[in-house]
Structure 1
Amino acid sequence: MIVQHVDMIALTTHGQGFVDVTGEIAHWLAARTDGDGLVTLFLRHTSASLTIQENADPDVLRDLADTLDRLAPRDLPYLHSSEGPDDMPAHIRTMLTATSLAVPVKAGRMMLGTWQAIYLVEHRDRPHRREIALHFIGEARRR
């Protein structure tokens, strides 16, 4: 039988950077199924994003952050600046990355690669409360 589970998780970031949310997503998923299907994640914000990236070498995340800084620098004269100098660059960085991801699920576990993790990428300087909508569709929990 096909089932769907929809929920929301909220996280508080510490300002600009990468937050590994793999464990929270895996925990949510394990409580709902041990079957096969697809989990979709959707970030409900325009100045943060989601990505799947390497989880072994922290230099990868530093290099990604440095690249985003070069692609959307804070010191350009943006028209949209009412929320501070980090806001418009945050919108650009979100546009360059993603606000949704879909991950296959097998036996209740995400089929991420060995070195992959799911990150919420905070593009603003100060802490924010961020919400991720989760949707699993797939097999019902086997009893």
Structure 2
Amino acid sequence: MGRVEVIAAGAVTKQVSGRLSVPTRGRGFTDITAEAAAFVRESGLRHGQLTLFCRHTSASLTIQENADPDVRTDLLAALDRLAPRDRPYLHHAEGPDDMPGHIRTMLTDVALTVPLVEGRLALGTWQGIYVVEHRDRPHRREIALHVMGA
């Protein structure tokens, strides 16, 4: 079993909420790591957690590799296989990309939590935070941010 190191302990003393408006270019990944890190810096918190919440049903959030863009290309291809656009969806159709977008959001996630350590997001070396746009056209997506800690 691994060793557990206590970095900080204590009661939650501060909370800060905000919103991030993210323009997407259509289907694909939009990196919001820098914006999330800036929000944390501006909060002044050193230890705690950041929660991000996507306020949409055909876009989602994910933490993925930020070094090789081929990873994101392959992930989009996998989602295409899991929720194809060329299938008839009988009950809800606002366009051929809409219902597959809802399915893809359900398969991924609309909320993330990232720990804060020493005032920084505790992401791994190759991790980035992304909005995943599941619709074909560009959209403006709203992400609610909430950081709490000390």
User: Normalising to structure 2: TM-score of the pair?
Assistant: 0.90
Q: Which runs of structure 1 show a deviation greater than 2 angstroms over 4 or more consecutive aligned residues?
A: none
Equivalent residues in 2 for 1:35-74, closer than 5 Å: 35-74=46-85
Which segment drifts farther, 81-90 or 93-102?
A: 81-90
Residues matched between the structures, number: 139
User: Retained in 1: the 8 A contact 2:45–2:149?
Assistant: no
Which whole-Å CA distance do the structure 2 matches of 1:66 and 1:85 have between them?
A: 17
The amino acid that maps onto 1:85 is P
| Identity fraction in percent | 62
Which whole-Å CA distance do the structure 2 matches of 1:55 and 1:111 have between them?
A: 15
SS of 1:70's equivalent in the other structure is helix
**In the alignment, which residue of structure 1 is the partner of 2:119?**
108
Structure 2: segments with no counterpart, 5+ residues: 1-11
Partner deviation per Cα, 1:62-87 (whole Å, 9 max, x = no partner): 11000000000001110245310000
Computed over aligned residues only, the root mean square deviation of the Cα atoms, in angstroms, reads 1.0
User: Retained in 1: the 8 A contact 2:55–2:144?
Assistant: yes
SS of 2:36's equivalent in the other structure is helix
Equivalent residues in 2 for 1:19-38, closer than 5 Å: 19-38=30-49
User: Retained in 2: the 8 A contact 1:80–1:88?
Assistant: no
Q: Does 1:131 align with 2:142?
A: yes
User: Normalising to structure 1: TM-score of the pair?
Assistant: 0.94
Q: Does 1:90 align with 2:104?
A: no
